[in-house]
């Protein structure tokens, strides 16, 4: 089952994201620990919007995910463009969270 569906159906510990620079670290941490590209981020609000963020040397790929983990929308942005994305806006409002990633085993 996709990680986004897990978040909505099970009690997964969520970590608050405090700084825009933390997003890059959290994405890379998740990729190292899980072996999967990107990391899930959730905007806590009435709809609990779910995104997968992937960090690339030339920019950032942001995917809006549906309830079943399907990609609804995909954007490629330069780092300075990403600072205006709704994911970073949610961070600034204290509404951005990411599921805790545990080391397998």
Nearest to 49 by CA among 95, 92, 101, 100: 95
What is the tens place of the pLDDT at every residue in 7-28? Answer: 554 567 899 999 988 999 999 9
Whether 55 is in a domain gets the answer: yes
Across the range 74-101, mean pLDDT stands at: 94
Report if residue 24 sits inside a domain.
yes
In a domain, 80, yes or no: yes
Tell me the residue range of the domain where 62 lies: 3-99
Please tell me the predicted confidence (pLDDT) of residue 6: 46
Specify if 105 maps to a domain: no
Residues 6+ apart with CB under 8 A from 50: 4, 7, 8, 40, 41, 42, 43, 64, 65, 66
Query: What pLDDT was estimated at residue 75?
Result: 95
Distance, CA of 36 to CA of 8 (rounded, Å): 19
Residue-wise pLDDT tens digits, 24-54: 999 999 999 999 999 999 999 888 899 999 9
How many domains does the structure of the chain reveal?
Answer: 1
What was the pLDDT predicted at 10?
54
Is 104 a member of any domain? Answer: no
Task: Give the pair of three-digit tokens for residue 37.
Answer: 């590209």
Domain assignment present for residue 90? The answer is yes
As a dihedral over the C-alpha atoms of residue 40, residue 45, residue 48, residue 54, rounded to 10 degrees, the angle is -20
């Amino acid at each position: 089952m996709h990680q986004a569906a897990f978040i909505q159906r099970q009690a997964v510990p969520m970590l608050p994201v405090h700084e825009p620079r933390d997003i890059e670290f959290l994405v890379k941490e998740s990729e190292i620990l899980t072996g999967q590209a990107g990391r899930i981020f959730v905007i806590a609000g009435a709809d609990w919007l779910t995104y997968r963020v992937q960090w690339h040397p030339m920019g950032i790929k942001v995917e809006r995910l549906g309830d079943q983990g399907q990609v609804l929308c995909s954007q490629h942005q330069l780092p300075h463009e990403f600072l205006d994305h709704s994911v970073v806006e949610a961070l600034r409002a204290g509404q951005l969270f990411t599921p805790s990633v545990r080391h397998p085993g």
